[in-house]
Structure 1
Amino acid sequence: MYMDIPPGYTVSTNGKLVCRLQKAIYGLKQSPRAWFGRFSLAMKKYGYRQSNVDHTLFLKKRKGKLTALIIYVDDMIITGDDSEEINRIQEQLNSEFEMKNLGELKYFLGIEVARSREGIFISQKKYVLDLLSKVGLLDCKLVETPIPQNLNFVETNDPVPTNREQYQRLVGKLIYLSHTRLDITYVVNVVSQHMQNPREEHMEVVTRILRYLKSSLGRGLIYSKNNHLEVEGYSDSDWAGTKLDRKSTTGYLTLVGGNLVT
């Protein structure tokens, strides 16, 4: 790996200098920022607009068609209805960066993608299996629901604490899993309220969620091609449902063209 001489360093007349790296650039906190800055400049040069909602998303409209590119570190997805522009941006990026086309999207950040005549199906089956394997619950006893009915945590004078780091790590993984497993969204919201001071009873609910996931591995979301782009929204809430602080819980979902987006 070769580096430019740092600013302010006086180069000798013969110019035969080599920078010796004391620490690898890859893995430093500065490296993702530098790489993304370089990538963003290239995308803007090719006529793409950086989204204000998600800075890793780049969009380009051309002749009434849309091309979208989203990047995470050095993995990216390119999609849209402008096949000509998709081929062009691949060639342009390949001329500036060392890249490899992996074909149709099948797996991205723990999310599996499958196509059929009915539509596009996304799931996180492998993600669940890896999580179960990591916590030693591959052969666990199955349950039919992710949370006991009418569960309410109450304050006790002698609470039994649990491993906070392990609890936070597991709940964090469950939060990411709820992107495709909406059936655990409510209970994940419940257990995530106790991240700072988890007790044994909270960990028992987390374990129950994992046992439920083992019993329903194949579930996910399907996006089918419908003949409309209508936007629909639904919401519901309880009233002071939490026994501890009397707070309410609200749930909502938004559909575009009959497919879930939020």
Structure 2
Amino acid sequence: MDVKNTFLYGDLEEVVFMKPPPGCVLPRPNAVCHLRKSLYGLKQAPELGITRLLIYVDDIIITGNYLEKITKLKEFLHTSFKMKDLGRLTYFLRLEVLYLPTGIMLTQQKYAHDLVVRAGLTDDKVVYTPMEINTKYKEVDGEPFNDPTLYWQLVGSLVYLTMTRPDISYAVQVLSQFMINSYRIDHTTFLRLIRYIHGSMSQGVLFRSDSSIHLEGYTDANWAGCPTSRRFITGWCMFLAHP
């Protein structure tokens, strides 16, 4: 569900005046507007939403096992806010929801495609592993990357992609270690990961309908695995509804 005019629901506690927008007819020259409600772009607007228990969010997902209760909740929300029912969940915060005969699959295919384009990949060459095996990366290898800001933005985007792509988690973790000092070798590693994503955009997380909701986790660590600090590296993986 989508809440219309989200920021207009917040009551202002401070006295805020606003310069009239173009085309607004005022009773006298040089008059100003006294705001009674919050507006989008006002510095108080996000704070008002948080302090009111997040009731003024823009998009809402309602889920549950009882359709009747979901319907009553939506009717209750309609009495307090102007809302639009978007129907069955298919797309939310760049998260795509696919309903398959075997279960529900979460992907970020469009988000991954936009990331590949943003990274400037100009060819169709792909690789089948996110990183080279048994490669040790150091902070002083190679020359400094010419655009560190772009590197930061792209790695941050990759972190969000790991929500449905746990197969790239370790590679993203390695790239995140070079956020302060990014070198060209990191760029080479980054491009390899982008090529891997380019060749596997349709991958995601499948929640099978025939699997029980069983949570299972594994963890392990090596000894002095980091080539820079000689600290050990811990790895872990979690399985939910895994057959």
TM-score above 0.5: yes
- Which amino acid is 2:45 matched to? S
1:218 aligned onto 2:202: yes
1:79 is paired with a residue of what secondary structure? coil
Aligned partners of 2:11 and 2:167: how far apart in 1? 53
Note the aligned Cα RMSD (angstroms): 3.0
Deviation, structure 1 residue 179: 0.9
Give the alignment partner of residue 185 of structure 1, picking from 169, 191, 200.
169
| Pairing partner for 1:34 from 48, 55, 62 | 48
Equivalent AA in structure 1 for residue 33 of structure 2: C
Offset at 1:3? Answer: 9.9
Once the two structures are superposed, the pairs formed by residues 1-262 of structure 1 within 5 Å of their partners are 19=33, 25-38=39-52, 40=54, 73-137=57-121, 139-156=123-140, 159-226=143-210, 228-258=212-242
Q: For 1:170 and 1:5, how far apart are their aligned partners in 2?
A: 37
**Gaps spanning 5+ residues in structure 1: where?**
10-15, 43-70
The one-letter code matched in structure 2 to 1:84 is: E
Shift of the 248–100 alpha-carbon distance from structure 1 to 2, 3 Å rule, reads: same
Counterparts of 1:2 and 1:158, CA distance in 2? 53
**Alpha carbons 1:106, 1:112 under 8 Å: kept:** yes
SS at match of 2:224: coil
- The offset of 1:162, in angstroms, is 3.2
Cα distance change on mapping 1:239 and 1:92 into 2, 3 Å:
same
Distance across 2 between alignment mates of 1:87 and 1:18? 44
Deviation at 1:158, TM superposition (A): 7.1
The one-letter amino acid of 2:116's match is L
Structure 1 counterpart of 2:69, one-letter code: E
TM-score (norm. length: structure 2): 0.79
**Matches of 2:113 and 2:48, distance apart in 1:** 35
Measured against aligned partners, the alpha-carbon deviations of 1:193-233 in whole angstroms (never above 9, x if no partner) come to 11111111112211111111001111111001235333322
Tell me by how many angstroms 1:113 deviates: 0.4
The answer to whether the 8 Å contact 1:226/1:258 transfers is no
CA–CA separation in structure 1 for the residues paired with 2:64 and 2:9: 37
> Which amino acid letter does the alignment assign opposite residue 19 of structure 1?
C
How many residues are matched? Answer: 221
The residue identity in structure 2 corresponding to 1:247 is: R
Q: Kindly state the Cα deviation for residue 136 of structure 1 after the two structures are TM-superposed.
A: 2.5
Rounded Cα–Cα distance in structure 1 between residues aligned with 2:12 and 2:173: 51
Higher strand fraction (1 or 2) = 1
Structure with the bigger RCO (C-alpha within 8 Å, sep 6+) is: 2
- The amino acid of 2:149's aligned partner reads E
Aligned counterparts of 2:14 and 2:44: Cα–Cα separation in 1: 17
TM-score scaled by structure 1? Answer: 0.74
The Cα of 1:34 is off from its aligned counterpart by 1.2
The SS at the match of 2:230 is: coil
